[in-house]
Structure 1
Amino acid sequence: PTTEAIKEVSFGLLRERLEHSLTSLEKLDIPGDMLRQQALITPSCGTGSLDTKDALKVFSLLKELRNSYVEG
């Protein structure tokens, strides 16, 4: 999220939302391991208009999320 909602978001919530989305795609017979290895995770539009503190939180959460998949 790139609105005031970023103040409410945690790594756990973000990971849970992503896993829910990936599971939905797996139900369409898309291999989960492929999704998790090849997913491109980006911030939503509007990050550039956030104040510095909130923008840093967005990118910090994305980095943590990425690392959780790369490092297993």
Structure 2
Amino acid sequence: MPRLILKKPGGVCMRHKDKDQLAAEWQALLERTPKPMRQAVETLVESQCHTFADRFYSVMMEDPHASLFLSND
């Protein structure tokens, strides 16, 4: 499968990795992150989920490519 190239804000190119590679990288990060840190992040995300969701969607809607995948339905 060919890899797509996107530009991050600031013009930096970003290659898309396949889902298995991304999953393996996330798993490795989780294993290296101390449990108390993961728990602190979980607590923060749970308490601020609406703020994070609002920010995520506002950024996504500003991106003409990403906004194509979003809908109010």
TM category (shorter chain) comes to: 0.3 to 0.5
**Which structure would you say has the larger RCO, counting Cα contacts within 8 Å and 6 or more residues apart?**
1
Q: Which has the larger radius of gyration?
A: 2
Please state which structure has a larger fraction of its residues in helix: 1
- Given the two structures, how large is their TM-score scaled by the length of structure 2? 0.32
- Given the two structures, how large is their TM-score scaled by the length of structure 1? 0.33
